[in-house]
Chain A
């Protein structure tokens, strides 16, 4: 944190104190603005999509079915695969020569540019991240679903509640804790996205996938502006702290049953 108040470059061992100048620079830097906006957009899209899908998958797997272990493992395998490998493989899948475009063309649709278009690149990253992480959040929801006592559903159905009603009145409220966890942890981890950007788009095209951590990394380790990068790290820390506090507040009120 101390470094953020200095004009500190790895090429120049001398540290020059500059007070708040690095923070002022972050405030007026248009690229930092873009990075903030992109990170926010990425986070909102990803959290909404992955929370919905995770809940859907958990509900599908909650039923007593044969082959449950197979499906659960299948959905979970991307979670235990490294992001480097996933980014690499998906970069090729999104490629104009990749099989997604092969599929689109075979189905008679027009091929899409995906990562090479400023309009689609960020969304393509969101889809990939969702595919990777949804299994993890599904597990959290599954654990939440399993902790709901079955008698609640029985008494509800004796009282004449439909399945939809008992879902809305029993399942959703009692999943609150799991849902808060999924949303907050998902938000924090989305805010720190780096690897897919580094490997798949390098922040482009036209800064459309420039995100905070990647910008910090680029400033520090490509342009050696350690002071400026540290100032931006402090801003990132502030944002993450706010989300963490929100999580603590929301989790303190637990529903009793």
Chain B
């Protein structure tokens, strides 16, 4: 046997072996990837199908909603006849059109968000920068109120609001939610990380305390402020127990209570319910998708630090 030939043969066999194992590895990796994607798409489907059903049912005529449930087919979801009747009817409801509830919610949530941005940012700045006696204790008291859940406070808060004669008013829906200890905590953390020199430079250039806050601190805190505003807006938009207790009258009803009142009625109009749910949901999801980066950051901040 020729030695060089033998060596060549061994090398060739090794090469083939390496190639084969490399191929089987890629094959395994591709199979693994395929399985991963299959799982992920399956899960995403489970998370999204209720929305698909809700939106598509809202553009069906009422009789079609439950018509094709069994056997399951494309017609269970895809409307045969496309119609906006349920939306049209919602805007002509008596005593109030649905737009009234929608506007109530927009007004209340916007007010809560703006007021709580102002109040909590100012408070947070005071806690971050001003030296005053009892600062630590006061901050501790603020933080400790976070522990008591709203569900426990509902009854005393309701009594208080009744005492003020605020039942069925916008104040009752807005004022209790302006001060927010979590917001003070998060914004204070953020303000403390801004270098003091920046503010001092502004002060030397002739800015007042408030001027330095407005021109230096706030512009540098946009991500934190956006995250906080998003969380507040969503919490206020989704609030249900409190508006149900404090403002049940049709005039001041917010969108969540309005939807709930459809559901708990004796004869539920499912077509209207689907249309109303879609309107209450889609704007929030769009806002979330656009501002996702801030939102996720806010959730993680409030989650891990709080």
Contacts and interface: CB of A to CB of B under 8 A. Distances in A.
Interface residues of B, number: 60
Contact of A83 (B51, B240, B262): B240
Interface in A64-102: 65, 67, 69-71, 73-78, 80-93, 97-99, 101-102
Contact of B155 (A65, A177, A230): A230
Given A102-B69, A102-B70, A143 B300 contact: yes
Which label, helix, strand, loop or mixed, suits the secondary structure of the A interface?
helix
Contact of B69 (A57, A98, A177, A220): A98
Contacts, number: 170
Most buried by B among A84, A89, A192, A198: A84
Contacts of B289: 73
Contacts of B281: 81-82, 85
A84 B240 contact: yes
A3 B71 contact: no
B147 interface: yes
B151 A236 contact: yes
A185 B303 CA distance: 9
Contacts of B292: 69, 73
Nearest to A192: B151
A81 B151 contact: no
B155 A220 contact: yes
A39 to B, nearest CB: 12
Nearest to A200: B263
Contacts of A69: 292
A245 B39 CA distance: 38
A76 B47 CA distance: 9
A217 B292 CA distance: 35
A210 interface: no
B102 interface: no
Nearest to B156: A3
Contacts of B33: 65
A181 interface: yes
Contacts of B36: 60, 63, 65
A102 B259 contact: no
Nearest to B47: A74
A233 B151 contact: yes
B151 A213 contact: yes
A105 B71 contact: yes
25 contacts: A73-B292, A74-B47, A76-B288, A80-B234, A83-B238, A84-B238, A84-B280, A85-B256, A85-B277, A88-B277, A91-B263, A93-B53, A98-B69, A99-B72, A99-B77, A102-B76, A106-B70, A135-B47, A139-B299, A140-B304, A143-B303, A181-B303, A217-B241, A237-B152, A240-B147
Interface of A: 1, 3, 57, 60, 63, 65, 67, 69-71, 73-78, 80-93, 97-99, 101-103, 105-106, 131, 135-136, 139-140, 143, 177-178, 181, 185, 188, 192, 194-195, 198-199, 213, 216-217, 220-221, 226, 229-230, 233-234, 236-237, 240-241, 244
